[in-house]
């Protein structure tokens, strides 16, 4: 058997195809890292584009603020023009741009309302004007902490108002709604307190994005305050867990002042997402041709006259396919580490992967290289099954083109099949291979997309499909007549 495997490996490495694919993989990895390096501009805002001011001014000039039907449009466009002019002055990527577009509109709206609405006292207008002028002074002075402090003060007042409403609320629906509003306000307060404590300004950065992402995820979680998590359907539970994971990870980044700004790290940690197609390409092309080419060239006769059973010959070919698959994964793994480190730096590779464990409800760290290897191991059933499918088609039909195209079609259609089953609530999908062949959903206590799935169940399903394909290969290959080949 070892001699057969050795012979088959020599055949594979004599093929030009394997070296062409290798060159393509090397080129793609290098190009990916170079493009990331050349195009990376860090975190950035995009609030202002050339022509925006002229667009709003063209409409604003035709509107009459004294006309009640036109006033709402006038106020909106006037605010937009003011915001865009200020953004242009400070630049899209300044911390001021974020504040101007998220916090200043309230000041501007109040000022416009006091300026154009009847019945507003001069004292009220002057107060609104003074507040706006102070905000502009703080922008000019670079005092971003002023806006964080103002936000905290505003949020505290809003919380007090909601707590007063809660005291008089009677029906449970209203009580739940107020409690959720208070919880969301507490999240907003927490994010601003973090800014002051950790000195995280509104300027584009990893930690600034972490604060924003925490707010989004945590407020989404607050929507489940009055619901029993155990009663959630699989799809909704997956959504809940995604937000729980994002919220917990971003909290960990912020509280521990961890900034993960590294292009090579990003490419490496998502290795099997970025380069999965090339792993499958090698596995499927080799498996799809390893049997069919023997028949197409007529060399199968020379192979079968050797003192080995047909089953041993067939299995040696399949083992070679798995060896090539493993070598491809190992090569991409190592080459990305080296290429990414040389082009974009090795700094980010020294930081452990940070994950959320749903079993313990805690954030944990794991060696970065071990984490990427673990995610690849969880993807292995899919790679093996698609390689086996190509091998089966090659054995059954002895047509290389068909043997290569069918697995790729299955790979492309897999997500559509799963989505179709979700939409139409097809429970039997759990017995199909596509929801079972990616085991990453089980990592760190994660929940699969469909009810009824578990890690042992998915492994058993994958093994059953693999055994069926290999058994079919053996039956067909053993009985195939080669006299007329």
Which region, left, alpha or beta, applies to residue 445 given φ > 0 means left and ψ of -120 to 50 means alpha? left
Residue of 483, 16, 485 whose CA lies nearest to 291: 485
Question: Mean per-residue pLDDT for 5-10?
Answer: 87
Eight-class DSSP state of 442: G
pLDDT above 70 covers a percentage of the chain that reads 99
Whether 95 has a pLDDT exceeding 70, the answer reads: yes
CA distance 284 to 293: 14
Mean pLDDT throughout 329-348? 92
3-class secondary structure, 424: coil
Mean model confidence pLDDT for the chain: 92
Alpha carbon dihedral 123, 128, 134, 136, in 10-degree steps, equals -140
Query: Cβ contacts of residue 70 below 8 Å, gap of 6+?
Result: 63, 64
Q: Average pLDDT for residues 263-287, to the nearest whole number?
A: 92
Please determine, for residue 39, whether its predicted confidence score (pLDDT) is greater than 90.
Answer: no
Burial bucket for residue 228 (CB in 10 Å: 0-12, 13-18, 19+): exposed
Half-sphere exposure of residue 429: CA atoms within 13 angstroms, side-chain side: 21
Q: Where are the domains positioned within the chain?
A: 2-41+265-479, 52-263
> Distance between CA 468 and CA 475 in Å, rounded?
11
Residue 428 has pLDDT above 80, yes or no: yes
Please check whether residue 171 is in contact with residue 152, taking contact to mean a CB–CB distance below 8 angstroms. Answer: no
Is the pLDDT score of 186 beyond 70? yes
SS3 3: helix
Structure tokens at 69: 């039907």
- 62-71, 117-126, 138-147: the lowest-pLDDT one: 117-126
**Measured between alpha carbons, how far is 79 from 72 in angstroms, rounded to an integer?**
11
Q: Scan for tokens 């404590």, then name that residue.
A: 197
pLDDT at 297: 84
Say which residue, 10 or 214, is predicted with more confidence. Answer: 214
């Amino acid at each position: 058997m070892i001699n057969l495997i050795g012979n088959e490996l020599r055949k594979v490495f004599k093929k030009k195809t394997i070296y062409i694919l290798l060159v393509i993989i090397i080129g793609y990895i290098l190009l990916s890292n170079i493009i990331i390096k050349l195009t990376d501009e860090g975190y950035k805002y995009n609030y202002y584009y050339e022509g925006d001011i002229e667009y709003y001014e063209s409409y604003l000039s035709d509107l009459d603020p004294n006309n009640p039907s036109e006033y709402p449009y006038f106020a909106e466009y006037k605010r937009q023009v003011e915001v865009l002019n200020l953004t242009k002055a400070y630049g899209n990527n300044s911390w001021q741009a974020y504040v101007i577009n998220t916090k200043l509109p309230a000041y501007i709206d109040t000022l416009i309302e006091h300026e154009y609405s009847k019945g507003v006292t001069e004292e009220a207008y002057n107060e609104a004007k003074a507040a706006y002028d102070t905000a502009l002074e703080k922008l000019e002075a670079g005092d971003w902490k002023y806006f964080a402090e103002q936000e905290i003060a505003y949020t505290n007042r809003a919380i007090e108002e909601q707590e007063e409403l809660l005291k008089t609320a009677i029906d449970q629906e209203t009580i739940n709604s107020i409690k959720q509003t208070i919880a969301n306000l507490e999240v907003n307060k927490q994010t601003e307190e973090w800014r002051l404590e950790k000195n995280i300004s509104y300027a584009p950065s990893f930690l600034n994005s972490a604060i924003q992402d925490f707010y989004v995820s945590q407020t989404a979680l607050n929507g489940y305050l009055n619901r029993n998590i155990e009663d959630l359907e699989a799809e909704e539970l997956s959504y809940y867990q995604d937000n729980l994971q994002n919220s917990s990870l971003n909290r960990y980044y912020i509280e521990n002042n961890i900034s993960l700004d590294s292009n090579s790290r990003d490419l490496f940690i998502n290795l099997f997402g970025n380069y999965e197609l090339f792993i499958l390409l090698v596995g499927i092309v080799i498996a799809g041709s390893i049997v069919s080419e023997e028949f197409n060239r007529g060399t199968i006769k020379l192979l079968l006259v050797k003192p080995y059973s047909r089953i041993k010959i067939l299995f040696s070919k399949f083992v070679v396919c798995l060896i090539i698959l493993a070598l491809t994964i190992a090569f991409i793994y190592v080459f990305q580490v080296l290429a990414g480190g040389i082009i974009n730096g090795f700094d980010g590779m020294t930081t452990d992967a940070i994950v959320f464990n749903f079993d313990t409800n805690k954030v944990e760290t794991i060696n970065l290289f071990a984490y990427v290897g673990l995610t690849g191991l969880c993807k292995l059933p899919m790679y093996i099954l698609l390689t086996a499918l190509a091998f089966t088609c090659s054995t059954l039909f002895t047509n290389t083109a068909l043997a290569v195209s069918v697995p790729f079609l299955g790979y492309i259609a897999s997500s559509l099949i799963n989505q179709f089953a979700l939409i139409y609530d097809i429970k039997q999908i759990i017995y199909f291979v596509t929801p079972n062949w990616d085991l990453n959903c089980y990592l760190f206590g994660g929940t699969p997309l469909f009810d009824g799935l578990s890690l042992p169940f998915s492994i058993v399903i994958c093994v059953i499909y693999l055994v069926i394909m290999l058994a079919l290969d053996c039956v067909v290959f053993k009985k195939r007549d080669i006299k007329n080949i």
